[in-house]
């Protein structure tokens, strides 16, 4: 794989990850772009003990443009895009409308309205877009295993690079797929956030792992994986290095977790063999998800990598991927209503064991190339 770094017209970084070593990336972004936006700030919610990002400039971001105006497609004569090249394998660039930015301006005072309870600080961090392919009309599940391996290398590279940025405490790689999820661009892509704090979800997981270790002297994530593998009923598929299962207390109508058999803190800690083994399993799972509901209804989903923070909890954390969907039936979505949104108490209408059985049958019937077995 060849990595090439360049700059867009407004100074944002663009990185190509090419599968051929002889590719030359000399295309120049000749657009006349406005100054970079990035006026976000962080405000502290003392009641919830959480930081909230305010990024009002994102209201003007591109929203569901037609395919011939997609900013993630390769550039062509008369139609420049965020990718100056005429074709690419995997491309990563700084988001034009970031929720967090290393250039975030200073805030006016350390508090809102002078109240000590309402702390504020600049929205320092990094937000990147990861384009999985130059083909607008495809999806992650339609990629080849070799392309997934390239994406994996991009995730690893960016995790390392963002972890070295001053102030970044956690790196989050994810994909939103489907308008129902809130996607504003149809081109197959994901994102990477470099947060200036450890996220609330990760803090809670690490606290649980620490308490469990104190009671048992064992690792919580290792024991969860071992228990799911022993029970077997919720295991969707296994390979030499990975296990996919529906968690016993799944929150979402369709939810699958993928764990490497060997506990590691983050993506860079995976061996070459573990990285190679991920793609074939993940592709079969995504293709099964798109067959989950009768009638060819594509499954909207969020795919989220849980990694250890940069500086804390690394001995407790366990890398894993969480894939979940808000679709609960072919023509119905799960809305986070009163109990979930107001109280944080989840109610799932679907038994995890039933979801696992359905997905297991579908995965078993699909080859990595998408053909029926």
Q: For residue 17, what are the β-bridge partners?
A: 3, 90
Active site (annotated) includes residue 189: yes
Q: Which residues contact 112 (CB under 8 A, 6 or more apart)?
A: 43, 118, 119, 120
Q: SS in 3 state form for 117-160?
A: CCEEEECCCEEEEEECCCCCCCCHHHCCHHHHHHHHHHHHHHHH
Give 7-36 as a DSSP string: E-TTS-EEEEEESSTT----------PPPP
Q: Which of the residues 186, 189, 306, 320 is marked catalytic?
A: 189
Q: Among candidates 71, 79, 310, which has minimal Cα distance to 206?
A: 310
The answer to whether 328 and 358 are in contact (CB under 8 A) is: no
- The phi and psi torsions of 133 (rounded to 5 degrees) equal -165, 155
Residue 176, both tokens = 């939103």
Distance CA 367, CA 363 (A): 8
Q: Among candidates 324, 322, 319, which has minimal Cα distance to 355?
A: 324
Q: Which residues contact 148 (CB under 8 A, 6 or more apart)?
A: 140, 278, 279, 282, 283
**Torsion angle, alpha carbons of 248, 359, 155, 164, to 10:** -10
Residue 279, both tokens = 């793609």
The answer to whether 76 and 86 are in contact (CB under 8 A) is: yes
Distance CA 91, CA 154 (A): 8
3-state SS, residue 181: helix
Catalytic residue numbers?
189
């Amino acid at each position: 794989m060849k990595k090439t770094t360049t700059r867009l017209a407004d100074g944002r970084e663009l990185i190509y990850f090419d599968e051929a070593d002889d590719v030359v990336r000399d295309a120049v972004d000749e657009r006349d772009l406005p100054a970079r936006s990035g006026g976000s700030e962080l405000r502290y919610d003392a009641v919830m003990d959480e930081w909230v990002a305010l990024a009002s400039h994102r209201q003007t971001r591109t929203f569901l443009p037609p395919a011939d105006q997609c900013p993630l497609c390769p550039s062509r004569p008369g139609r420049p895009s965020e990718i100056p090249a005429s074709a690419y394998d995997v491309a990563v660039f700084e988001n034009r409308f970031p929720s967090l930015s290393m250039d975030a301006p200073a805030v006016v005072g350390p508090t809102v309205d002078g109240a000590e309870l309402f702390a504020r600080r600049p929205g320092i961090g990094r937000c990147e877009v990861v384009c999985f392919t130059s083909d607008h009309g495809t999806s992650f599940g339609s990629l080849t295993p070799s392309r997934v391996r390239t994406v994996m290398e991009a995730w690893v590279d960016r995790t390392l690079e963002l972890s070295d940025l001053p102030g970044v405490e956690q790196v989050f790689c994810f994909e939103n797929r489907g308008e129902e999820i809130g996607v504003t661009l149809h081109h197959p892509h994901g994102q990477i956030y470099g947060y200036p704090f450890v996220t609330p979800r990760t803090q809670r997981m690490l606290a649980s792992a620490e308490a469990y270790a104190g009671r048992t002297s064992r690792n919580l994530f290792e024991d969860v994986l071992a228990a799911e593998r022993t029970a077997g009923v919720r295991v969707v598929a296994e390979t030499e290095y990975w296990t996919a299962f529906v968690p016993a207390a799944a929150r979402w109508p369709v939810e699958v977790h993928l764990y490497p058999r060997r506990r590691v803190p983050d993506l860079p800690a995976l061996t070459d063999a573990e990285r190679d083994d991920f793609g074939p399993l993940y592709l079969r799972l995504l293709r099964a998800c798109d067959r989950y509901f009768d009638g060819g209804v594509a499954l909207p989903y969020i795919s989220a990598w849980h990694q250890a923070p940069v500086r804390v909890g690394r001995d407790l954390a366990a890398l894993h991927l969480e894939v979940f969907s808000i679709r609960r039936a072919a023509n119905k979505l799960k809305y986070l209503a009163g109990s979930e949104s107001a109280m944080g108490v989840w109610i799932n209408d679907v038994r995890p064991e039933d979801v696992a059985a359905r997905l297991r049958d579908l995965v078993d019937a699909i080859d990595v190339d998408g053909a029926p077995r």
